[in-house]
Structure 1
Amino acid sequence: MQNGGKREGAGRKQGSINKVKLELRDAARAYTQAALETLVEIMNDHEAPHAARISAANSLLDRGHGKPTQSLDVDHTANISNLMVQWVKSNGNGEPA
């Protein structure tokens, strides 16, 4: 007989939603249409602050089309050994010693 410890296959599967989160998600989804309508109202309200209108428009775009992917430009032409020499010669503030 085992005396505790990790057992294969025991417990809730990683990434699965617990009962409370599942109930909360389902309750929130009941208000999806009303939330979308509110966002549209704010976006179209010309008396609302610009920040609120932009935020509402972005939220609608993100939900309708997904968030845009973030691009990252990397310059990988530098020689790593030169970078290491520069780093070692620096006095801690990025300037040559």
Structure 2
Amino acid sequence: MSSTTELAELHELIGNLRRCVTSLAAKYGDSPATRRIVNDAERILNDIDRLDIDAEELELSRGRGVVHPPRVSERIPIPDTQYDTDFWRDVDDEGLGGTR
């Protein structure tokens, strides 16, 4: 079974869960117990939505996804010259080693 089919099945199941939870809340009213069940169902729905977002990562971990080329480290030169004093105007000294 493909992950797309599995995710579609999860969405169908969470839809059924939501309908059951809504029915229970209508039957038993607003109480701490029904609010917990509603919150749990919403949390599960959010987790499944998150799984949809992470599906590509799951495919990558199984070796079926896009292979990204390795990063090439690039050195960025930092000059040794002094910065213009206007660069530091209105900047607070965070105590990085002395006074000015």
Normalising by structure 1, report the TM-score: 0.29
Higher-helix-fraction structure = 2
Per the normalisation by structure 2, the TM-score is 0.29
